[in-house]
């Protein structure tokens, strides 16, 4: 099975015959290309066109992150699956406002229902019952939204209610949430959320690459100023299930502590070891399996993400109406 490759040390990445070689001050590491699903780079790496050509041939995408662990951009090779019909239908679902709103609503609904399930997991002594009720009310109001901006606003409000519960979910007093700050994250918890979300965005992007959908056409996140948006839409559904739960576990088990962060100019950043631990736990989480009702077998969270993309493909083909995954 091909695996994602994470690179944390500075060096040169090049092609050597049928392998990718990473040269660092510590030496050379050969990576057979068959074992590579995607590459995520967190350090200073030099690479050349010959390597990009090789990666294109092997359908491998590369995602780049800066020193804070924020997503910078991706090398997304030429599509290898192409269906004119799918692209036409995908665009049609964007241009037709009613159709666009339907999908956008489903993404928000999926996100909020998964948020509610997270809160239910931590609802000892009914401490979150009120919050759960409020978020449910937001879900009910989704049907009344008549444009994407309203949906976004409603989601934002519900998310704030959710974030307010974080300080209680997290047992460690060292981590406090205050409010969500993104660029830059102003405290450790925000840095963790940003880092985890970036990992998820790129994972979803790599999965979209294996389908016929174009990641540039999203429905909730507008297509105007970003290159890839469909991955952001789909990630909404999985953020609570994958990223948030992972953060709660890592902090509550004291695997990540505030000493794993440091202030660098412009914001707070995770130290390299913490990034590595996070990435490893993130990948383990993607390999966790659940029993799939229709397929009647175990499937990993990573396949679940790909199947979510298939569900959208089926929706735009008017095959089956889309319903988000609720875990």
Q: CB atoms < 10 A from the CB of 192, how many?
A: 26
Q: Does 12 bind another protein (CB under 8 A)?
A: no
Minimum Å gap between C-beta 179 and another protein is: 37
Say how many residues touch another protein, by CB under 8 A. 22
Q: Does 315 bind another protein (CB under 8 A)?
A: no
Q: Does 318 bind another protein (CB under 8 A)?
A: yes
- How far apart (Å, rounded) are the C-alpha atoms in residues 246 and 234? 18
Q: Which is nearer to another protein, 93 or 269 (CB)?
A: 93
Interface mask toward another protein for 81-120; x: CB under 8 A: xxxxxx----------------------------------
- How far apart (Å, rounded) are the C-alpha atoms in residues 306 and 150? 28
- How far apart (Å, rounded) are the C-alpha atoms in residues 307 and 93? 19
Question: Quick one: which of 65, 306, 315, 324 contacts another protein (CB under 8 A)?
Answer: 306
Q: Which is nearer to another protein, 124 or 319 (CB)?
A: 319
- How far apart (Å, rounded) are the C-alpha atoms in residues 215 and 224? 13
Nearest alpha carbon to residue 236 among 152, 141, 157:
152
Q: Which is nearer to another protein, 236 or 308 (CB)?
A: 308
Cβ atoms of residues 320 and 311 within 8 Å? yes
Q: CB atoms < 10 A from the CB of 118, how many?
A: 22
Q: Does 58 bind another protein (CB under 8 A)?
A: no
DSSP H or E run through 295: none
Q: Does 311 bind another protein (CB under 8 A)?
A: yes
Q: Does 317 bind another protein (CB under 8 A)?
A: yes
The residues in 261-300 that bind another protein, with binding defined as CB under 8 A, are 292, 294-295
Question: Quick one: which of 58, 136, 210, 216 contacts another protein (CB under 8 A)?
Answer: 210
Nearest alpha carbon to residue 210 among 310, 103, 292:
310
Minimum Å gap between C-beta 84 and another protein is: 7
Nearest alpha carbon to residue 39 among 171, 84, 235, 15:
15
Cβ atoms of residues 198 and 69 within 8 Å? yes
Interacting residues toward another protein by CB under 8 A: 81-86, 210, 212, 292, 294-295, 303, 306-308, 310-311, 313-314, 317-319
């Amino acid at each position: 099975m091909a695996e994602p490759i994470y690179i944390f040390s500075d060096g040169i990445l090049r092609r050597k015959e049928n392998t990718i070689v990473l040269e660092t001050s510590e030496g050379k590491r050969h990576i057979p290309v068959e074992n590579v699903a995607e590459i995520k780079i967190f350090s200073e790496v030099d690479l050349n066109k010959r390597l990009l050509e090789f990666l294109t041939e092997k359908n491998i995408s590369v995602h780049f992150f800066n020193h804070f662990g924020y997503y910078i951009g991706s090398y997304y090779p030429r599509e290898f699956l192409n269906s004119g019909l799918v692209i036409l239908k995908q665009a049609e679902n964007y241009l037709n406002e009613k159709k666009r709103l339907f999908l956008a609503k489903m993404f928000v609904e999926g996100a909020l229902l998964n948020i509610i399930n997270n809160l239910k997991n931590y609802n000892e002594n009914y401490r979150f019952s009120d919050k759960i009720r409020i978020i449910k009310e937001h879900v009910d109001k989704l049907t009344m939204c008549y444009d994407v901006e309203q949906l976004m606003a409603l989601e934002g409000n519900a998310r704030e209610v959710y974030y307010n519960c974080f300080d209680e979910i997290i047992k460690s007093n060292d981590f406090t949430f205050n409010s969500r700050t993104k660029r830059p994250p102003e405290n450790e918890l925000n840095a963790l959320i940003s880092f985890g979300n970036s990992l998820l965005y790129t994972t979803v992007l790599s999965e979209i690459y294996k389908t016929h959908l174009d990641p540039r056409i999203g429905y909730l996140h507008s297509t105007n100023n970003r290159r890839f948006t469909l991955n952001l839409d789909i990630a909404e559904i999985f953020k609570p299930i994958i990223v948030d739960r992972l953060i709660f576990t890592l902090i509550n088990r004291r695997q990540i502590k505030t000493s794993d962060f440091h202030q660098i100019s412009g914001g707070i950043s995770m130290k390299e070891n913490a990034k590595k631990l996070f990435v490893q736990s993130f990948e383990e989480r993607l390999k966790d399996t659940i029993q799939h009702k229709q397929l009647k077998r175990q499937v990993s969270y990573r396949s679940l993400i790909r199947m979510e993309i298939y569900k959208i493909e089926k929706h735009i083909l008017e095959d089956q109406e889309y319903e988000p995954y609720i875990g």
